[in-house]
């Protein structure tokens, strides 16, 4: 399958973006799977349309010189079970590629031919599927089913969101990075949720805690009772969940200490989402020593007059901008530490994570970066979002 070819050819890309199950094999044939039709017994079946491709390098050549299309399945019929004569061309079993044997070919040429492969496929789909939709209006060739990615992709299935929005080239600015997330509580889990949807090469998860009921109420998704009963390690749990989408998830069911801190150096960029001050200090000092950029996050929520008042903080640091870190990040262990109350609310965790991931993406050109902020504070009380410690990357 060549998803790259589909992405570079506007007509094939439009088919994929509109939910048709388009596939390209050997860069020679395009296939659209699961096209509904009616057979001679007036039963609704699903077949596959196949068209040869004419290419110039990695893109299709338009307009088309060939209007004939092939079909895998029984010959499509009208609602009465009679063959649709208007497209009949020939019926012969012929193996094309990779064990795909066509059964029929159809001919329906517009006066000026087909402008592109999108027009060609859609026209034949309309003709073939119309009787099936007359019998059952719910059937459609636009299934929007996930498309399995090729071996070179970090995803288990193709990122049609990026292609539909035409931001693949922008998203690719994040390719190749190795990301570490230290701490998979509420905020760290949401960071993972966001980062797993990017084309980074690897995501390394560090957490020695168990995934328990209180974690489920401030983390993305909805854990089953069975999962909670198993008391899985957090890193192992999230590895099992997000490996369904991203191939590069690695996990370490342990806390970082002097004995294993070097493990974090595998990452190009690190998100620190933990409360323990001593562990945080060790991590940040190690990252600074080895010139690894990072983002530290924090939440402070208190009960005031019967309601909650809170702040969330996102602090970035790198080898060029580090003088602000010890003023912004608390390394305390409790008491008067404004970030130690441990009241966490899912939406604040999610917002904390979103601001952190946006800041990371700004550092690598995904988002335009005007303010160049290295510290951000959001207050639930005032609604203010304060950017501080601005500095060039």
**pLDDT, tens digit (0-9, with 9 covering 90-100), for 276-315:** 888 999 999 999 999 999 999 999 999 999 999 999 999 9
Task: Tell me what pLDDT residue 339 has.
Answer: 44
Return the C-alpha torsion angle 173, 351, 238, 329, nearest 10.
90
Mean pLDDT, to the nearest integer, of 123-131?
A: 98
Report the b/e string of 41-52 with b at 16+ CB within 10 A. Answer: eeeeebbbbbbe
* All CATH 3.40.50.720 domain ranges in the chain, comma separated: 160-388
Per residue in 74-124, pLDDT (tens digit) is: 999 999 999 999 999 999 898 876 678 999 999 999 999 999 999 999 999
pLDDT(11) > 50: yes
Mean pLDDT, to the nearest integer, of 40-57?
A: 92
CB 93 within 8 A of CB 71: no
Mean pLDDT, to the nearest integer, of 205-225?
A: 95
Locate 180 and state its tokens: 């570490």
Q: 229: part of which helix (H) or strand (E)?
A: helix 225-230
Q: Please give the share of the chain, as a percent, with pLDDT higher than 70.
A: 94
CA distance 54 to 56: 7
pTM (predicted TM-score): 0.76
Report the b/e string of 176-195 with b at 16+ CB within 10 A. Answer: ebbbbbbbbbbbbbbbbbbb
Contacts of 266 (CB under 8 A, 6+ apart): 178, 180, 202, 204
CA distance 177 to 74: 48
Return the C-alpha torsion angle 23, 27, 29, 32, nearest 10.
10
Task: Tell me what pLDDT residue 189 has.
Answer: 98
Task: Tell me what pLDDT residue 39 has.
Answer: 97
Task: Tell me what pLDDT residue 27 has.
Answer: 62
Contacts of 386 (CB under 8 A, 6+ apart): 376, 377, 378, 379
pLDDT(333) > 70: no
Question: Which segments of 81-205 does DSSP mark as H helices, in order?
Answer: 117-135, 160-164, 168-171, 186-195
Task: Tell me what pLDDT residue 1 has.
Answer: 47
| Summary mean pLDDT of the chain | 91
Mean pLDDT, to the nearest integer, of 8-36?
A: 90
Q: State the CATH class of domain 160-388.
A: alpha beta
Contacts of 289 (CB under 8 A, 6+ apart): none
At residue 337 the predicted structure's pLDDT band, cuts being 50, 70 and 90, is very low
Q: Please give the share of the chain, as a percent, with pLDDT higher than 90.
A: 77
CB 339 within 8 A of CB 187: no
Per residue in 138-185, pLDDT (tens digit) is: 999 999 988 776 667 898 887 777 766 768 789 989 999 999 999 999
pLDDT(256) > 90: yes
CA distance 44 to 153: 35
pLDDT(266) > 50: yes
pLDDT(336) > 80: no
Mean pLDDT lowest among 130-139, 332-341, 351-360: 332-341
Return the C-alpha torsion angle 260, 265, 269, 272, nearest 10.
20
């Amino acid at each position: 399958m060549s998803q790259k070819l589909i992405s570079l050819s506007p007509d094939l890309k439009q088919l994929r973006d509109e939910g048709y199950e388009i596939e390209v094999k050997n860069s020679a044939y395009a296939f659209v799977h699961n096209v509904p039709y009616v057979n001679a017994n007036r039963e609704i079946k699903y077949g596959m349309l196949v068209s040869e491709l004419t290419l110039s390098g990695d893109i299709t050549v338009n307009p088309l010189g060939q209007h004939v299309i092939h079909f895998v399945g029984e010959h499509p019929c009208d609602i009465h079970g009679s063959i649709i004569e208007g497209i009949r061309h020939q019926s012969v079993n012929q193996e094309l590629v990779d064990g795909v044997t066509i059964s029929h070919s159809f001919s329906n040429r517009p006066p000026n031919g087909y402008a592109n492969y999108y027009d060609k496929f859609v026209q034949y789909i309309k003709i073939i599927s119309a009787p099936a939709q007359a019998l059952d209006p719910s059937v459609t060739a636009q299934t929007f089913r996930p498309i399995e990615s090729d071996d070179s992709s970090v995803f288990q299935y193709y990122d049609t969101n990026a292609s539909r929005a035409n931001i693949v080239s922008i998203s690719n600015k994040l390719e190749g990075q190795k990301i570490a997330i230290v701490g998979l509580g509420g905020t760290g889990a949401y960071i993972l949720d966001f980062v797993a949807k990017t084309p980074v090469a690897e995501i390394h998860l560090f957490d020695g805690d168990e995934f328990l009921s209180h974690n489920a109420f401030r983390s993305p998704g909805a854990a089953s009772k069975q999962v909670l009963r198993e008391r899985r390690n957090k890193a192992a749990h999230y590895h099992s969940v997000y490996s369904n989408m991203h191939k590069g998830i690695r996990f370490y069911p342990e806390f970082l200490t002097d004995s294993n801190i070097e493990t974090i150096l595998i990452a190009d960029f690190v998100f620190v989402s933990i409360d323990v001050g001593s562990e945080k200090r060790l991590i940040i000092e190690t990252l600074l020593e080895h010139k690894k950029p990072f983002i530290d996050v924090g939440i402070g929520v208190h009960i005031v007059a019967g309601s909650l008042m809170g702040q969330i903080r996102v602090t970035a640091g790198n080898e060029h901008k580090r003088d602000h870190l010890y003023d912004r990040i608390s390394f305390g262990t409790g008491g008067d530490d404004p970030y130690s109350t441990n009241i966490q609310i899912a939406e604040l965790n999610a917002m904390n994570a979103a601001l952190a991931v946006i800041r990371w993406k700004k550092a690598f050109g995904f988002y335009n970066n005007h303010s160049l902020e290295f510290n951000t504070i959001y207050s639930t009380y005032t609604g203010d979002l304060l950017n501080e410690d601005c500095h060039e990357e």
